[in-house]
Structure 1
Amino acid sequence: MQIGIFSVGDRTADPATGRLPTERERIKGTVEIALRAEQAGLDVFATGEHHIPPYITSSPTTLLSYIAAKTSTLHLSTSTTLITTNDPVKIAEDYAMLQHLADGRLDLMLGRGNSGPVYGWFGKDSRKGVDVAIENYALLRRLWDEDVVTWGGKYRTPLQNFTSTPRPLGGAAPFVWHGSVKTPEIAEQAAYYGDGFFANHIFGPPQRTARMIGLYRERFEHYGHGPADQAIVGLGAHAFIRKNSQDAVRDFQPYFDNAPMFPGGSALADYMAQTPTIAGSPQQVIEKTLSFREYAGDARRILFALEVGGVPLGTTLEQIDLLGEYVVPELRKELAADTAGE
């Protein structure tokens, strides 16, 4: 089990002060968040890829390379690498290069993204998003697995005797997660290749997450990668932690109200009851996270988002400390006990 955090990378004004961080402050702050995650004993730091304001994470490989040079144990990942708008050749080269620089402390999560205009900016058709994702990944796998590739497809020009450089570190490609909220074709793709499936159910109802993971587990076993309960599941979650629940709810409320990704007019208590979001004490966060097993089974990775809605850097660093000191040790203990009892 890996436990870590992921950054959405939005640049949003703090509703308490109205102050909007500069792009430089937000970028440098993201590095500071990753460094604090390692200091707090977390396993993973992941960042998304976005090409639309107000996000600042347009180049995750650049950001993660810088973080890799400043860390020694932290595993680095993306929470989205856009398999639709990035060329598979560039993904193969960029992430193999980063794999070498990070001494292997790297994997990536592929996704289609949820911003329609981005497709057009990169010369792609959003209506073909799923088909492009499937074709591009098939090529990416070959580029990493084969030294010389001749290939022809529907959505990019052919390749003739092409070698992607550098080659993956030690001949082993970076591990791949396929991230999705509600697209069964992506769960099927992850199962077909025996890759990880990351259900980012940060906003979604548990019932939908259960259906997606159930499909992935069933197909993982169907393709001969092992028993369904051994399928490689990851989960996204969202937490805001204070030492007591009243402070957590009070302090998080303005950020919940400010965040565009949350439904306007929703009561925080009702929203938490229906989704994986939790604002509460460390014990409440532990209990809520352990409850994911009821509908998702055992997960290999859980990543928390801690900074949505304009949460300032200082508060985010406090959240990481609370996560590392109180939540993560108990989660590891509980999950290890469950595994030992099997």
Structure 2
Amino acid sequence: MYTRRNIRTKLILQFAWKNLLGFTLWAGLVTASYVLLRPRGLDIRLPFLPLSTIGIAVAFYMGFKNSQSYDRFWEARKIWGGIVNTSRLWGSQVCSYVGGLELAAGAEPSAELRGVHQDLLYRQLAWINALRLQLRRTTIHDRHNLSYAPDLHLQLDRDSQDNVACFLSSAEYGSLGAAANAAVQLLHTQSVKLQQLRTQHLLNDFQHIDLMQTVKEGYNLQGMCERIKNTPFPRQYAYFSTVFVWIFVLLLPLGLVGEFSKLSNGAAVWLTVPFSVLISWIFTTIEIVGDNSEDPFENYINDVPMTAICRTIEIDLRQMLGETNLPPRLQPVDDILL
């Protein structure tokens, strides 16, 4: 997620410089051709009215696409907000529920009980990190359909398995290797552990049901993330939006050159170049924004900052356990928070 209020010019140019160069060359070529061929009776101008109609249609089409792209990002961010709340609730429930009479009497939890609390909270931390890694398993750098994304040298986050292993026993972490969906298996293990605690009378029926409702919410939130991840933005909208923009951009100088040739007895015809470049850049930038926003789990500049969210949850849950040696909150690197 880009965190700076104003986007740096350097970043804008990283996305735009190739297009700006191409627009300048194309508009210059069209204008020079018009100036050279017009005296010979060859007119390459296009009437501006149909061109403006195309521009309006493309603008409406891109508006729909960008609105839907933003909805995907915002839904993903709300889901991870739900994961934050659910994880905090889980930590509070575990620390206040699991212990039965020992906690009801107001006594300090024993070392064994603290170990049970830590096991349940650490597995929750393993779950959120496993889910994050699964969602980022395919990153924007693997998307051949996206041609606007420069390499910003962001650190890939899809292979950081240490963030899962550090919260689990070696045996439990080893058992995840054969799992098709490690995050689901971690939630299933939580359910099994809760049943064992109920059998040991460390939970009563109400507490067991309440904790299982929180596990159920974890399943729901993971399913929502996987729905966004596994259902790409409909390609018919994304692809044809790009096609229509480039048709408009290629035709634009042919229409502008005729309009500017009417000014000052044709002396203003070279204004076609800067105005064509400006209008083309605006349209393609809107297209780029939509293209880069349609997938919120891609380990890229417009990603939901799942790594930072996981770190926030880790700090909160470990504080509930009474730990003081806590990691710092993640800070943006080059204005980008992952």
Q: TM-score, normalised to structure 1's length? A: 0.24
Q: Which has the higher contact order (CA 8 A, sep 6+)?
A: 2
Higher strand share: 1
